[in-house]
């Protein structure tokens, strides 16, 4: 197992997020990754590597160029409006919802923030661009390492901010660049004819689904909390099966809040059956451990020991695999839970 670690992830460190009408401290913090890194080192799991420079051409194939350009310049524009803004984070406050135009990019900064986002809980900070692009580099390098045939059947992009809520041209849900989608595209570019993305985060991977929804070469599968009650609410339903060339290449397996490991395992097995039926050549696992019973913002009931079995189940697919780090907000337990998945996977 190769571990591509983002050495600048902590440069993205949001002060607050908007939640239920008030600003609260961010749940997505640099400490999340530090606990994982420490747990992996203690157990001797994986070979730690730093990524190369991000492949911007690949990033701009998965994400809309105007969106990528906005992310790259957003902090500079924010501070240029008022130097005092350097002490604040960027949070959107207006969005072009139904009936509004999305094709025209306004010059007003606040309007552009809203055009390229879908919630107010995802602060953009001074270090967001650097951290997000380094994370994207981790995902791309992990995919290329697995594809190179040098003995690595699995690799992990150990990075934050996470990625699976980011769409081709929008951020939200703590996510800016979609690491799972970038890894999947890198696997395709390296020769995999069919790639499966299996998302086991508590929250539906709406960004990944939307990026590949009309493609037949990438299967997207997500096991997650029922969107009638759980974030991101507006995607993740079982009747979303793909469109056009992507018809029947999207599988959502929503579960009610409070689901235990037995129910979750049955859904995962159904998702794995879909991966096998798709005859995927390679696999991306969007690994969120916010399915944990102690997670403060999620409502499944998995225990730390269960993640060993999760890893064993995923290994049973027998595919070259890239893990991307997604959610998990019981900070002190995130490291144990991720390490358990990888230990179980390694057998």
Active site residues: 165
Distance CA 244, CA 215 (A): 8
Q: Exposure of 207 by Cβ count < 10 A (0-12 exposed, 13-18 middle, 19+ buried)?
A: buried
Q: Exposure of 279 by Cβ count < 10 A (0-12 exposed, 13-18 middle, 19+ buried)?
A: exposed
Distance CA 240, CA 184 (A): 20
Q: How many CB atoms lie within 10 A of CB 238?
A: 11
Sign of CA dihedral 163, 169, 174, 177: positive
Pairing of strands 16-19, 282-287: unpaired
Pairing of strands 195-199, 282-287: parallel
């Amino acid at each position: 197992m190769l571990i591509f670690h983002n050495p600048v992830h902590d440069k993205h460190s949001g002060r607050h997020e908007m939640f239920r009408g008030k600003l609260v401290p961010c749940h997505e913090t640099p400490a999340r990754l530090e606990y994982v890194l420490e747990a992996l080192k203690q157990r001797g799991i994986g070979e730690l590597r730093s990524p190369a420079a991000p492949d911007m051409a690949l990033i701009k194939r998965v994400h809309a160029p105007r969106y990528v350009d906005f992310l790259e310049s957003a902090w500079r524009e924010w501070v240029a409006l008022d130097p005092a803004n350097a002490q604040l984070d960027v949070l959107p406050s207006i969005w072009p919802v139904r009936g509004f135009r999305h094709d025209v990019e306004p010059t007003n900064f606040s309007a552009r923030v809203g055009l390229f986002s879908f919630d107010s809980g995802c602060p953009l900070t001074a270090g967001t661009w650097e951290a997000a692009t380094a994370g994207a580099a981790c995902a791309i390098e992990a995919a290329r390492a697995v594809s190179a045939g040098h003995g690595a059947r699995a690799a992990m992009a150990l990075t934050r901010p996470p990625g699976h809520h980011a769409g081709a041209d929008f951020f939200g849900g703590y996510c800016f660049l979609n690491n799972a989608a970038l890894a999947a595209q890198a696997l395709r570019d390296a020769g995999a004819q069919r790639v499966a993305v299996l998302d086991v985060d508590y929250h539906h991977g709406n960004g990944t689904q939307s990026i590949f929804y009309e493609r037949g070469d990438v299967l997207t599968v997500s096991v997650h909390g029922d969107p009638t009650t759980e974030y991101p609410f507006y995607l993740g339903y079982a009747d979303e099966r793909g469109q056009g060339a992507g018809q029947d290449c999207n599988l959502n397996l929503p579960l009610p809040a409070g689901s235990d490991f037995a129910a979750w395992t049955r859904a995962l097995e159904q998702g794995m059956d879909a991966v096998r039926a798709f005859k995927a050549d390679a696999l991306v696992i969007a690994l969120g451990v916010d399915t944990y019973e102690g997670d403060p913002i999620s409502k499944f009931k998995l225990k730390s020991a269960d993640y060993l079995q999760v890893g064993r189940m995923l290994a049973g697919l027998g595919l070259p695999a890239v893990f991307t780090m997604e959610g998990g907000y019981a900070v002190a337990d995130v490291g144990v839970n991720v390490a358990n998945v990888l230990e179980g996977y390694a057998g």
